[in-house]
Chain A
Amino acid sequence: MDALIEKLKVQIIEQLNLAEVKPEDIKPDGPLFGDGLGLDSIDALELIVLLEKHYGIKIQNPADGKKIFESLRTMAEFIKSHGKS
Chain B
Amino acid sequence: MEFVITTYCKIKNNAIWCNGQKLFSVKEMPASDFLKEAYKFSEMNYPKFHKMDNLSKLGLIAAEICFKNSDLLKNNDPENTAIILSNHSSSLDTDRIHQNSIANKDRYLPSPAIFVYTLPNIVIGEIAIKYKITGENAFLVSDKFDAETLVNYTQQLLKTNMAGAALCGWINYDGSDYEAFIYLVEIQKDSIKSVNFKALNQTIVNQLYQN
Residues on A lying within 8 angstroms of B by beta carbon are 16-21, 38, 42-43, 45-46, 49, 52-53
Contact = CB atoms under 8 A, between A and B. Distances in A.
Contact of B51 (A16, A45, A52, A53): A16
Interface of B: 47, 50-51, 109-113, 116
A49 to B, nearest CB: 6
Nearest to A43: B113
A46 B96 CA distance: 19
B55 to A, nearest CB: 15
A49 B112 contact: yes
Nearest to A45: B112
A38 B116 CA distance: 19
Contact of B112 (A17, A19, A20, A46): A46
Nearest to B52: A17
Nearest to A52: B109
Nearest to A48: B112
Contact of A49 (B47, B50, B109, B116): B109
A13 to B, nearest CB: 10
Contacts of B109: 49, 52-53
